Amino acid sequence: MPALTPIRFLTAHQLSHLYRRSILAASPTQPTLFASALDAPANNFHFGATTSIHALAAILATRLITNHAFMDGNKRVGMLAAHALLKMNGWRIRPEVLVEMEMLDAGNGRIIEAAVLVARGMWDEDELAAFLREISVQESQVCERSSRTKVESR
């Protein structure tokens, strides 16, 4: 079994900041559901359910989306939190998909579609994890591509 790299998890402060910055200047209306969603990835990791960062990000997003801890914006904050968790652990959403994420209010694109499928119960955590795996790339691969582009452009 390969050695596991340490996983970094979002804090309550970071998740609240994401929500305030991206959606509203508000606190969770259901603090216990907020805490439950926030703790779910770490609990799944520590108790051996999964070590996949994509699965952990999907768990976080799914719980935020379905727990309805906020008055509004649960789907958006769920997907933003998944992105933040991936980013904190060396993964990036592919640039063409990230543009969609920046326009979540437009109501179109694969990211909002994924969030809606989760909210409707049509996708579970495994399906969302597969989607996140599909749209993300490890940071080292991003750096390699960037370096090749710079060399090719000279």
Distance CA 142, CA 90 (A): 10
pLDDT of residue 70: 87
pLDDT of residue 152: 44
pLDDT of residue 96: 81
For residue 90, is it left (φ>0), alpha (ψ between -120 and 50) or beta?
left
CA distances from 128 to 29, 122, 124, 140 (A): 25, 10, 6, 23
Query: At a CB cut-off of 8 Å and minimum separation 6, what does 19 contact?
Result: 26, 28, 70, 73, 77, 80
Name the CATH code of domain 12-153 (choices 3.30.70.1350, 1.20.120.1870, 3.10.20.30, 3.40.50.720): 1.20.120.1870
Q: Enumerate the domain spans of the chain.
A: 12-153
95 exposed, middle or buried (CB, 10 Å; 0-12, 13-18, 19+)? exposed
CA distances from 7 to 44, 68, 103, 113 (A): 12, 26, 28, 27
What token pair was written down for 4? 């596991």
In order along the chain (154 residues), what is the average pLDDT of each group of 10 residues? 82 84 73 95 92 96 95 89 96 82 61 94 98 93 52 41
pLDDT of residue 43: 95
Which residue(s) pair with 91 in the sheet?
A: 138
pLDDT of residue 151: 43
pLDDT of residue 149: 44
Query: Each residue of 15-49: b (16+ CB within 10 Å) or e?
Result: bbebbeebbeeeebeeeebbeebbebbeebbeeee
pLDDT of residue 53: 97
Distance CA 5, CA 19 (A): 28
What token pair was written down for 6? 């340490």
